[in-house]
Amino acid sequence: MKKFLHVQDIGPLSSALQEAAEIKKDRFAHDTLGKNKTLLMIFFNNSLRTRLSTQKAAMNLGMNVIVLDVNAGAWKLETERGVIMDGDKSEHLLEAIPVMGSYCDIIGIRSFAGLTDRSYDYEETVFNQFVQYSGRPVFAMETATVHPLQAFADLITIEEHKTKARPKVVLTWAPHPKALPQAVPNSFAEWMNAADVDLVITHPEGYELDPQFVGDARVEYNQMKALEGADFVYAKNWSCPGVTNPSDYGKVLSKEMSWTIDAAHMAVTDNGKFMHCLPVRRGMIVTDDVIEAPTSLVIPEAANREISAQVVIKRILETL
Ligand code: AN0
Ligand code: CP
């Protein structure tokens, strides 16, 4: 695997899930596979889970790990071509990328959407520059439009907790004070479409996700109706994807607090399990009682980030 961005990059999900289960049983079974190999994790944005779980996964495989926080100590990077660099940016990404590639064997990259230029974000400009110029396999640790390590961990979690062959999974928008990317709901929808689940997506009008991610999912604008009989409730805020109205791209169109997941929402589900990728804002996305209930999966879900990362890094190591 030379790049990891979309669900197709990992191949058949059944074998990826089987590998995840094996790694979970013995996460040190391949602890020499990464000997003398270096993972470089590059963060343009904050992280708790991705940073810790991905580093841990690489260490389980015997790798060396370097972490670079671009905005904390590195030179400010210019990303556009053809500009006269007379401002505060000291270095161009097009030099920085091959330099970084020269110090490592695999690159993980976190670079969120700017949420101002839809084409720049949805063409995955930054990620693709790393693929093109680093000379290394590159995997997404949340890029402009996708967060596949999260979606893979979510799928592992659903596999572990499902009580029906084909569970009903509801992806629901919930309110948040700031504009957030669409990467998490995009990847969640993409991976659930590829898995054997009944996927329903619910959000206020104007928050339609890009059709390439919605796939075959049912979109239901009435949140309570969508949640009826749900086995899994996957809450997430996202800003306007700009599908119906491109000029609204990246905007907060609603802070409707009736969409916050509380006990009344969970009551219409089929003893539904609550999921969220974290970090989560209590009182906005979900109430304390729902996230603290035994039916909340947020902690095992986060723990599975180590497993999803380990499957991905292992597969990349095997093709070096
Ligand atoms: C980010 C997002 O919504 O994409 C990261 C989630 C994993 N969340 C925040 O910035 C709060
Ligand atoms: N879920 C997730 O990716 O969390 P971090 O932003 O803390 O890495």
- For 150-302, CATH number out of 3.40.47.10, 2.102.10.10, 3.40.50.970, 3.40.50.1370 equals 3.40.50.1370
Are 194 and 185 within 8 A, CB to CB? no
CA triplet 197, 200, 201: central angle to 5 degrees? 135
- Specify which residues 92 forms β-bridges with: 78
Q: Which atom of ligand 1 is nearest to the CA of 178?
A: 11
Q: Which atom of ligand 2 is nearest to the CA of 48?
A: 7
pLDDT digits (tens, 9 = 90+) for 184-242: 999 999 999 999 999 999 999 999 999 999 999 999 999 999 999 999 999 999 999 99
Q: Which atom of ligand 2 is nearest to the CA of 142?
A: 3
**Which ligand has the shortest distance to the CA of 146?**
1
Q: Where are the domains of the chain?
A: 3-146+305-317, 150-302
Q: Which atom of ligand 2 is nearest to the CA of 53?
A: 8
Over range 134-148, report the average pLDDT.
98
Listed residue (9, 17, 4) closest to 197, CA to CA: 17
Asked whether the CA dihedral 320, 40, 86, 126 is positive or negative, the reply is: positive
d(CA 7, CA 151): 9
CB of 184 closer than 6 angstroms to any ligand 1 atom: yes
Q: Which atom of ligand 1 is nearest to the CA of 238?
A: 3
Q: 3-class SS at 253?
A: coil
Contacts of 123 (CB under 8 A, 6+ apart): none
d(CA 256, CA 296): 23
d(CA 291, CA 92): 43
d(CA 43, CA 45): 5
Q: 279: which 2 tokens?
A: 């970090």
CA triplet 312, 317, 320: central angle to 5 degrees? 130
pLDDT value of position 79: 87
- Specify which residues 3 forms β-bridges with: 138
Topology alike, domains 3-146+305-317 and 150-302: yes
Output the CA 14–ligand 1 centroid distance in Å. 28
- Specify which residues 236 forms β-bridges with: 173
CB of 149 closer than 6 angstroms to any ligand 1 atom: no
C-alpha dist (Å) from residue 198 to 219, 275, 298, 312: 12, 16, 21, 26
The 10 Å Cβ neighbour count of residue 121 is: 25
Q: Which atom of ligand 2 is nearest to the CA of 277?
A: 1
- The owner of tokens 């260490």 is 59
d(CA 75, CA 222): 47
**Which ligand has the shortest distance to the CA of 186?**
1
Q: Which atom of ligand 1 is nearest to the CA of 281?
A: 11
Res 27 pLDDT > 90: yes
Q: What is the pTM of this model?
A: 0.98
Asked whether the CA dihedral 32, 34, 35, 40 is positive or negative, the reply is: negative
**Nearest Cα residue to atom 4 of ligand 2:** 49
CB of 150 closer than 6 angstroms to any ligand 2 atom: yes
- The owner of tokens 């592992």 is 156
**Which ligand has the shortest distance to the CA of 309?**
2
Q: Which CATH architecture has domain 3-146+305-317?
A: 3-Layer(aba) Sandwich (3.40)
CB of 94 closer than 6 angstroms to any ligand 2 atom: no
CA triplet 270, 285, 48: central angle to 5 degrees? 110
Over range 153-167, report the average pLDDT.
98
pLDDT category of residue 148 using cuts at 50, 70 and 90: very high
Mean pLDDT value across the chain: 97
Phi/psi-derived region of residue 3, left when phi > 0, alpha when psi is between -120 and 50, beta in every other case: beta
CB of 180 closer than 6 angstroms to any ligand 1 atom: yes
pLDDT value of position 73: 86
Output the CA 32–ligand 1 centroid distance in Å. 33
**Which ligand has the shortest distance to the CA of 239?**
1
CB of 104 closer than 6 angstroms to any ligand 2 atom: no
CB of 172 closer than 6 angstroms to any ligand 2 atom: no
C-alpha dist (Å) from residue 219 to 205, 216, 253: 10, 9, 18
Listed residue (4, 145, 143, 129) closest to 78, CA to CA: 129
CB of 41 closer than 6 angstroms to any ligand 2 atom: no
Output the CA 279–ligand 2 centroid distance in Å. 6
pLDDT category of residue 293 using cuts at 50, 70 and 90: very high
pLDDT value of position 80: 86
**Which ligand has the shortest distance to the CA of 179?**
1
Pairing outcome for strands 3-4 and 38-43: unpaired
d(CA 250, CA 257): 19
